[in-house]
Amino acid sequence: MPSPFPSDLYGGRLTIDLAAIAANWTALNGKLGGKAECAAAIKADAYGVGQEQAGQALSGAGCRTFFVAVPAEAFALRTSLPDAVIYVLDGLFPGSAEHFIQHDIRPVLGSLCELREWAGICKSAGKNLDAAVHVDTGIHRLGLSPAEFSAAMSDADLLGPFVPSFVMSHLACGSTPAHPMNRRQLDLFREVTAPFPHIPRSLANSAGILMGPEYHFDLVRPGIALYGGKAIDSEPNAMKPVARVEARIMLVRDVPEGDTIGYGARQTATRPLRNAVVAAGYADGLLRRASSSDERPGGFAMIGGYRAPVLGCISMDMITLDVTDVPEELLKRGALVEMLGPSVAASDLAAYAETIDYEYLTSLGRRFERVYAPLI
């Protein structure tokens, strides 16, 4: 939801471009040649940008099928997208089946016990109730083993009237296309599903879409690319940026050469510095691991086209930036600094924090003013 308080009561602002999300989905859909359906992963509050708003934007672009992680996300999404097809990737929690049926939500059955439970419900109802089945091809998280899947799909007594709406697996190393794991998973997925040509198949996430048609099958499930993230490590990111984080300058001060900055005194000024203190920190999702020290550089922000490196430790509510080379007129008290956005890619920040852009995006904005507008 848009923020309820005036702008000047927030330390920072998170701007989300819904048109960019829609454009990213359209671009990914265009890579499929009309042969596969392009769905959307909208879990974790749409990777931090807002499930309801992103869902509406994606639906408006033509998306009809959505994936969330847990049932509560699905039920919330159902209120804003009454006609959408909604799947829950984490499957059928104990005691939840009645709620799935009541709200027309579809579980992705990720274990043999879940499959047995759902098939039993279909038998009792005397009809097929839509659900997908997950088969594990090597990531060893959720999913029936290939042997379990093959045996179950051939057991009419077990399944009764249940026919999976599709069967899926998930790539372990899609962000690195040359990794041999991708080919092993693709080959195993083809082998395991070949005896059941009547069941649609889904393997590709964002990276899988970009890896080419052999990974597309009947349905693809992009996530990070929809939100402007980098799906493949070794290639330029062609997706439009979706989120911008700006933090407010509270104070600009001089730091003498030889003095230290921030908690732990981990960084020493090697020259006289100017230091801008901005009102955002790790409580806002700007990860502490992107801090700077004498041993390693940290992240950076952008101020009017000037790069401003992080100085010292990122704290809960504040970050200090080196603005020695930034013109004075850009450093007014209350001015907004770009911490993430078109000039500061989430993948770049993630590299400084030794993590991935997924973590950055899903952590952002707990205390920021939230605005839905184009990233001009």
Active-site residues, by number, are: 43, 263
d(C-alpha 24, C-alpha 176), whole Å: 21
Place of tokens 């930036």: 321
Taking alpha carbons only, the member of 43, 103, 39, 110 closest to residue 75 is 103
Cβ pair 147, 118 in contact under 8 A: no
Measure the CA–CA gap between 238 and 228, rounded to whole angstroms: 8
CA distance 229 to 113: 35
User: Cβ contacts of residue 296 below 8 Å, gap of 6+?
Assistant: none
Place of tokens 């990122």: 314
Give residues with Cβ within 8 angstroms of 180, minimum separation 6: none
Residue pair 339/320 in contact by the 8 Å Cβ criterion: no
Measured torsion, CA atoms of residues 55, 111, 189, 59, in degrees rounded to the nearest 10: -10
Place of tokens 């000037």: 306
Q: How far is CA 62 from CA 79, 284, 304, in A?
A: 18, 33, 37
**Cβ proximity of 338 and 245 under 8 Å:** yes
Determine the distance from the C-alpha atom of residue 114 to the mean position of all C-alpha atoms in its chain, rounded to a whole number: 26
DSSP assignment of 298-364 equals --EEEETTEEEEEES---SS-EEEE-TTS-GGG--TT-EEEEEBTTB-HHHHHHHTTS-HHHHHHH-
